[in-house]
Amino acid sequence: MRRPMIAGNWKMNKTPAETVALIQELKKIHPRTNVEIVVCPMTVSLFAASAQIKGSELHLGAQNVHFEDKGAFTGEANCASLKELGVEYVILGHSERRQYFAETDETVNKKVLKVLENGMKPIICVGESLEQKQTGITNEVVCLQTKAALCGVSTAQITDCVIAYEPVWAIGTGMTATAADANRTIAAIRGAIKDMFGYVAENVRILYGGSMNDKNANELMSQPEIDGGLIGGASLVAEKFDKVVNYSDR
Ligand code: PGA
């Protein structure tokens, strides 16, 4: 059985002080199932977040990391530092990073390997653009992104990887994929993982992301292939996030 996961991608929101306040609210959430809750604040808020979640059921994630161990990479953060702060998950290859920060399948792959090497777990984002969707090549795009990200990952490591299927046209737009479409695309992604790793693919968690919120979480989560959500906007308001976590009962 795959443990459901709801992860909040806070993006460039919440200062360290605001992070502490939001986590204090999130600690009051009582999930009705064994859903794993992950919060992913900005890098500069991780220290404050880490202290605040100690002893709670919340798990800590980062939004990016560099693929080198250390050196002349001004402005970047390395895996060792995230690990030291208690970071367990690292979001990689988010479409905003691909679009604005020149992230490529190749750099995503390097980061995936480095995160795993450091004993953390990548949340790998894949997703098609509107144009690609309209051209009918969604499955090709997301399967290629998935396979490229997982190059060199071992069979032992694959179940530490989480994939987030996030159609680019659905992120922050209020438009979601229909639950059935998301389920179908996620099944295709699982097929791609199966091509590489065999049946252990059944144990890999694949999330949906893109305008998932308290209104549509229930429907999305009732799909057999959807193991959770990567939540942007709705993760910044404790009440909404609580509802997403609890609508994800199965
Ligand atoms: P959204 O963002 O929920 O605000 O659409 C999701 C994401 O980008 O991970």
Q: Which two tokens stand for residue 203?
A: 């144990």
The domains found in the chain, sorted by start residue, are: 5-26+34-66+78-249 (3.20.20.70)
pLDDT bucket at 250, cuts 50 / 70 / 90: very low
CA 203 from chain centre, in angstroms, equals 16
- Over residues 6-30, the pLDDT tens digits come to 999 999 999 999 999 999 999 999 9
Q: Is the CB–ligand 1 distance for residue 41 below 6 Å?
A: no
Q: Is 140 a catalytic residue?
A: no
pLDDT bucket at 1, cuts 50 / 70 / 90: confident
35 and 248 Cβ atoms separated by less than 8 Å? yes
What pLDDT sits at residue 248? 58
To test ligand 1's pocket by mutation, which of 14, 38, 171 has the most ligand atoms within 8 angstroms of CB? 171
Collapsing DSSP to helix, strand or coil, 67 comes out as: coil
What pLDDT sits at residue 119? 98
What pLDDT sits at residue 149? 98
Let me know if 199 is exposed, middle or buried by CB neighbors in 10 A (0-12, 13-18, 19+). exposed
Q: Is 59 a catalytic residue?
A: no
Which residue's CA is the nearest one to ligand 1's atom 1? 232
CA 113 from chain centre, in angstroms, equals 16
C-alpha of residue 8 to centroid of ligand 1, in Å:
9
Dihedral pair phi/psi, residue 173, rounded to 5°? -105, -15
pTM: 0.97
- Over residues 87-98, the pLDDT tens digits come to 999 999 999 999
Determine the angle formed by the axes of helices 138-149 and 179-197, rounding to 10 degrees: 40
